[in-house]
Chain A
Amino acid sequence: MAITTGRASRTSRGRAAGGDSARGDRERPGPVRRALSRHWYAWAMTAPVVIVVGVLVGWPLARGVHLSLTDATEANVGRTIGVNVIPSTYEFVGLGNYVDILTSGLFWERLTWTVLWTVACIGLHYGIGLGLAMMLHRRLRFRSVYRVLLILPWAIPGFVAAFIWRYLFNSDYGVINAMLKAAGLGAVGWLDEPFTAKIAVIAVNVWIGVPFMMVALLGGLQAIPAELYEAAEVDGATAWQRFRHITLPGLRPVSSTVVLLGTMWTFNMFPMIYLITRGGPGDSTEILVTYAFREAFTGVRNYSGSAAWGVIILALLVVLASVYRRALRRQGEVW
């Protein structure tokens, strides 16, 4: 409610806060000076961010796009060794890198796994998070104890969690195999086989990501008015109907946000993969981001190839975000 009032009156007050009203400035020197005197506060306050982001994102981005159109590698970029300055010898190759990547089986393999990884993680995050949130939403003994203990994985810094799980999954000394053996089953080389390694990284990411979803959805559930459920019950709606027609629509604003955020985070989830499996065995658990990193910083550093991977990843994310936004807008969401 407070937000709507704020929004309705924003323009007039924003103008007032900005200095003077639009009608009052008839005889001003010139458009530039007028704009400057009126907006310099706003510009000064945003300047640090715009400059820092512009220099450190804009320039590297432009440079990255440029690199992706060349054949730059570690061997032919300009560098200084002692007193000798070696000039760059790389050449412009147009869209060659993109063609190479998009026609290679490797790219599609990595893309398939990245999509699978993202969908599996987000699906499990959301499903388990919603289940737990609905349980915690009810009147329940020890509710706050459960809540704190269930949030714990989120409180552990990501890289620490990655190391913990790598030890748990260790095939010789890990506790998971010890338990399997104690139960009379054989040990599994968790991180040594492509298939089990994939399951392992998904499991770790789910462990880390569920608490955020759970807490966010719990907040969403608490915002749904209880009268709706009472009215539905009076009208004889079944549990499933109430879930389908009250809970899910009531959660939609929260859901759409956390799913989008989660998708972005998971798609770009560098540390988990890098620290748990290093993309291995082979390159079976390498997602697009870690693969691009590997191109750039291992072996002969392939700067141009890595930059082209980066541009492709960015393009995928931008497309994804705009499709998602459009879908939401069609459903009448204001976003």
Chain B
Amino acid sequence: MSDITTGARTHGRHRRSLAGSVLLHGTLLLATAISLFPVLWLLLTSLKPRDGWLSSELEIFNQPSLTNYTRVLTETAFPTWLLNSVLAAALTMIVGVFVAATTGYAISRFRFPGHRGVMWLLLITQMFPVAILIVPLYNLMAGLGLLNQIAGLVVAYLTVAVPFCAWMMKSYFDTIPREIDQAGLVDGLTPFGTFWRIVLPLARPSVAVTAFYCFMTAWGEVAYASVFMSQEEKRTLAVGLQQFVGQHWSDWGLLTASAVLIAIPAAIVFLLVQRHLVAGLTSGATKM
């Protein structure tokens, strides 16, 4: 609370007092420390030797080694899980972006019977809890022979990711002037051609955000993956990693090393796209 009031008082042109500066930087440093510490500790633990995590002392370094990494990559099914996760996430992303873009464009540009219905469908689907759909969906997948198939998982992820993404894309298309579409039509393009050749390239930032959102939805999903992918070699990372720290046996060395391997690429991509991501998320949602 005190931060807020000091924040408002010194807003703008005033020079801050020394005490104000110390307080401000102190608070921010504390917050930064809290946000960084778990990640740093993860990194440090992963670099400890095989049983290095089994220590109740505060040790920052303890004979740093890459044992845990080599064990994860050679002795466990981690590479298989990684492949499954990448495959599921990439497919979700490709199909999701395409479908969300066409739908978003249609509800942004055309007025057609069923327009409101589609909008409502997309909005309401976002609220569905996993719990109500998972059992019937499981039976449906079993009936179609899609259990333990990446394709089945991708289809389930699409139902989660696409409604929100279609909203995001729609609100971005709304900001692209319609004169551009008309110019395309006048030049003899079909409505789909206008969308594909003219509007979609203009919407590149929004496409990037949608792609990233679809990818992350699939990458981090736990419930569907736990239930649909029961075979060991079909597991995704979020499910597979649970094995390393089961109820009777746990090896945090393996877990921390694989967590670092997963988190670093994800974090780099995230930090690159995050500015667009925030804008996309909030603008997509404000126009609901």
Contacts and interface: CB of A to CB of B under 8 A. Distances in A.
A306 B121 CA distance: 24
Contact of A17 (B109, B223, B266, B288): B109
Interface stretch (B65-73, B203-211, B277-285): B277-285
B241 A159 contact: yes
A140 B133 CA distance: 48
Interface in B108-131: 109-115, 118, 121-122, 124-131
Interface in A100-138: 128, 130-132, 134-138
A185 interface: no
Given A39-B112, A42-B106, A163-B255, A317 B270 contact: no
Interface in A281-335: 288-289, 292-293, 296-297, 303, 306-307, 309-311, 313-314, 317-318, 321, 335
A46 B282 CA distance: 23
Interface residues of A, number: 121
B159 A317 contact: no
Contacts of A84: none
A270 interface: yes
A150 B192 contact: no
Contact of B285 (A239, A257, A271): A257
Interface in B194-245: 195, 216, 219-223, 226-227, 237-238, 241-242, 245
B109 A292 contact: no
Interface in B128-157: 128-137, 139-140, 155-156
Contacts of A33: none
Contacts of B91: none
Nearest to B34: A207
Given A130-B4, A242-B11, A313 B220 contact: no
Contact of B133 (A57, A153, A166): A57
Contacts, number: 333
B76 interface: no
Interface in A1-31: 2-3, 6-7, 9-11, 13-18
B266 A156 contact: yes
A237 to B, nearest CB: 10
A242 B237 CA distance: 48
A182 B38 contact: no
Contact of A48 (B38, B57, B99, B132): B99
Interface in A72-93: none
Contacts of B102: 45-46, 48-49
Interface in B179-199: 181-182, 185, 191-192, 195
Binding site secondary structure of chain A: helix
Contacts of B131: 288-289, 292-293, 296, 306, 309-310, 313
Interface residues of B, number: 110
Contacts of A233: 12
A230 B12 CA distance: 8
Contacts of A293: 130-131, 134, 223
B73 to A, nearest CB: 17
Contacts of B3: 131, 134-135
Contacts of A321: 127
A82 B216 CA distance: 39
Contacts of A268: 129-130
A150 B58 contact: no
B274 interface: yes
Nearest to A139: B12
B28 interface: yes
Given A50-B118, A53-B121, A314-B129, A303 B137 contact: no
A271 B223 contact: yes
Most buried by A among B56, B125, B139: B56
Given A130-B4, A134-B4, A156-B266, A46 B58 contact: no
Nearest to A237: B8
A188 interface: no
A167 interface: yes
Interface string A223-265: 0001001100100000110110001000001100110110010
A6 B129 contact: no
Contacts of A96: none
Given A41-B110, A41-B192, A155 B271 contact: yes
Contact of B135 (A35, A160, A177, A296): A296
A270 B111 contact: no
Closest 6 CB pairs of A and B: A310-B132, A292-B131, A60-B136, A42-B110, A155-B270, A45-B106
Interface of B: 3-12, 24, 27-28, 31-32, 34-36, 38-39, 41-42, 45, 53-58, 99-100, 102-103, 105-107, 109-115, 118, 121-122, 124-137, 139-140, 155-156, 158-159, 162-163, 166, 174-175, 177-178, 181-182, 185, 191-192, 195, 216, 219-223, 226-227, 237-238, 241-242, 245, 252, 255-256, 259, 262-263, 266-267, 270-271, 274, 278-279, 281-282, 285-286, 288
Given A49-B103, A160-B266, A271-B223, 11 more contacts: A15-B111, A49-B162, A61-B132, A130-B4, A155-B267, A160-B263, A207-B38, A216-B281, A257-B285, A257-B286, A293-B134
